[in-house]
Structure 1
Amino acid sequence: MARWRPLPAGLDPAVVRFVVQLRKLKDDSGLSLPRLAAKTGYSASSWERYFVGKTLPPAAAVEALAALVGADPVRIEVLREAASRAPVDQQPDEQAADEPAGPRPAASSRTRRLGRTALTAGAGAVVGAAITLLVLSPEPANAKPQALVVKPRTVYTCTYTQRDGRWYAGNSTTTSDILEVDMWGPEVAELQCLLQHAGFSPGAADGNFGPLTETAVIDAQKAHHLDVDGQVGPQTWAALRG
């Protein structure tokens, strides 16, 4: 596995999450930068900029990298879209001058909608640096064990009722709370029950927003022709309760 250097502290957390996943795909490929360039049609210097957070890669480059390792491109595309929406103080072109002018892997119509670059500063600096050090920095041999945040394990039930044309599962009546990965509580359990009711399995209704729940949310957003971001807001609640 490559020994990655820490990302710049000024990157927005959404950008950090995307670049970390991009680096993982590169590690999984086992390819050097020159070999990666040869197989994707994007230059080694361009990939180097992508991996250090200087430039957001084009959607086609991300798809090509995911294809090399047999990874599902949906999750990395969702992360890339979130990164493209981060605040920016500059927006360099996606295509760098030294990238080859020849044919490249074509992006799907869905991924062509994704944004441009996402270098940021300001409020995300401290959080971005913390995420980077946590994910990428090796732990010293003499490091003391850190306390872990343990998510509560509560048994939730799904008791479906319909009122005023809306479905409820007995855990929460919210129609607007914003939910995303790593959150937990009765609102998440309500989401999981509604996903099950709509035919999108999130696994058990345990109140923890994990990868299975995120995948189910993405599938539901696709089916209802909503913005696909893996997060739950008023539009997704309305679709599931309707």
Structure 2
Amino acid sequence: MARWKAMPAGLDPAVVEFVAELRRLKDASGLSLRDLADGTGYSSSSWERYLGGRLLPPREAVESMATAVAADSARLLARYERARDAWRRDQLADSGPEEQADSGPAEGGDSGLGDGADSGLGDGADSGLGGEDDSGPADTVVADAEVGAKSADPRVRAFLRQLATVGISAAAGAGIAVLVMAPGHSASATAATSRTTVATAKPVPYTCHFVRKAGLWYAGNSATRTDHLQVDMWGPEVAELQCLLQHAGQSPGGIDGNFGPLTETAVIDTQKAFHLDVDGQVGPQTWAALRR
């Protein structure tokens, strides 16, 4: 029986309840992380992150685990839905656990499990963890010109972009209100200002203009080869990802710059096709596979 480490501070109770249930099911099944990886198609390093409360697994991983441990899938998925909603609320409020920015510890690091060796289980209780290879990519974050500074947390970049958009919209709205209330302001000037505001608020149109440089494909939205992307992020990097997914024959459901469920499914299918670590997120190895 594993001696589990405490989960990261600040997790929502719904997330804590869900992760605790995953731990209970794993312990009851007697499966090692390697066994769990073999039975679900998700790497043991990914399961270390999920069971440590550092990363919320994709729905497909939860369904696969329920099958592997012969659990009540409906009950487990109901808990997962509550945990996923809470996790996303924390992301939007930028108040989630600090560890979410980390896609998982490097092999031999803190897996968030027990007090044992680097595998994360106390006293070597789970033989499936000792010295396992991590096939997952290292998550690397590069400079973001839109923010103007390096950041180790991709959520910070997305959050600052969102703040900038809200700030611009609020300023435009305030300007219209002042003009309308000003004496002698003409209706035609107000209408012209409103038309300008509406045009500014329209979503950024993304397109795919493929070009091959130095043996790599680019779609014209971003040249990144390392940025970490995951569900609920948005921007030109996501649009670039969606173009490359479409180019690889995996439809993301459209090129809108939003990393939603359809894009996540396309990423998972691509990772399976290229025999990569399957976690539904995009790091250097997934970028490399898509740009080849």
Q: TM-score, normalised by structure 2?
A: 0.40
Q: TM-score, normalised by structure 1?
A: 0.48
Structure number with greater CO (CA < 8 Å, separation at least 6) is 1
